[in-house]
Structure 1
Amino acid sequence: MYSQLCRYGWRPLEAVGHIAFGLALLGLGLACAGADLLGGWEQAARLLTGAG
């Protein structure tokens, strides 16, 4: 992916930034799906805060 972005004229730092942003969005999406599977946002918050 990095080499493809550089081939199209993206600067290296810009390419790395876009890849990191895409991975962050993917992680956020997985976290949202996981919270839904765990039974909702309230239970996920309780698990994260240790009140679960």
Structure 2
Amino acid sequence: MYSQLRHYGWPPLQAVGHIAFGITLLALGLACAGAELLGGWEQAGRLLTGRG
């Protein structure tokens, strides 16, 4: 994978940034799906604000 990134001219730090951004989006998607499974956005908001 690293050799492919070098072939296309991406510096290693830029590649790491893209990978980290992808992981962040995936984690956000999983968090949203988990909030839906746990009873919706209202309960998730209450949990995050400590009013749970």
The reply to whether TM is greater than 0.5 is yes
Number of residue equivalences: 51
User: C-alpha displacement at 1:50, in angstroms?
Assistant: 1.2
- TM-score by length of structure 1 reads 0.82
Q: Does the CA contact (< 8 Å) of 1:35 and 1:44 recur in 2?
A: yes
Unaligned runs of 5+ in 1: none
Identical-residue share of aligned pairs (%): 78
Q: Which runs of 4+ in 1 moved over 2 A?
A: 4-9
Higher relative contact order (CA 8 A, sep 6+): 1
- Taking the aligned partners of 2:6 and 2:33, their CA distance within structure 1 comes to 32
Unaligned runs of 5+ in 2: none
